[in-house]
Amino acid sequence: MTSLDSFLDTFNYLTFGLPPSFVSQVSSPQTYPPYNIAKYEDRVEIHFAVAGFSSEDISVEVSNRYLTVAGSKNNSSQEEPDDLVAFTHKGIAARSFKREFLLGPEAGKITVELQNGLLKITVQYEEPETVKLPIIQT
């Protein structure tokens, strides 16, 4: 986020009451894995469909307001029966992925939960710090 973006977020908030962008995707548009972003009064939830991935295959990190979600399927964790001859159809994807999101200044506590093939990341709202706008003299 550039200083101009930060200024515009602050300007829109002070002038029109529009909250700054809370979560925005910064990585190139991808279709895998599919995800939803749900906004609530006190939080934002990002749900990823990651069927076949275990918690050891997924990493979630936050650094400098960037939330990075990455997954890499470990072939050794994919156990197949000894008597398996071949798949007649293999539609469950197990390819690597990486998604990045820019968190707004009001992002607070982050929790991560993996259950039944859905990765749920919850970002709680916090009151943003007051930003002083620079005075430009001409």
Name the DSSP letter for residue 12: H
**Would you give per-residue pLDDT tens digits along the chain (138 residues)?**
455 555 555 555 554 444 555 555 555 566 788 899 888 888 889 999 998 888 999 999 998 888 999 999 866 545 667 778 787 887 776 788 999 888 888 888 999 999 999 999 999 888 766 666 777 876
Beta bridge partners of 70: 59, 98
Q: Which CATH class is domain 21-76+94-129?
A: mainly beta
State the pairing for strand pair 58-63/43-49. Answer: unpaired
- Asked whether the beta carbons of 101 and 66 are under 8 A apart, the reply is yes
pTM for the whole structure: 0.66
Break the chain into its structural domains and give their ranges. 21-76+94-129
Strands (E), 1-138: 23-25, 35-39, 43-49, 58-63, 66-71, 97-103, 107-115, 118-125
Any long-range contacts for 58-65 (C-beta under 8 Å, 24+ apart)?
Answer: 58/114, 58/119, 60/110, 60/112, 60/119, 60/121, 62/103, 62/110, 65/1, 65/102, 65/103, 65/104, 65/105, 65/107
**Residues contacting residue 113 through CB under 8 Å, at least 6 positions apart:** 119, 120, 122
Confidence at residue 5, expressed as pLDDT on a 0 to 100 scale: 55
At 17 the pLDDT is 47
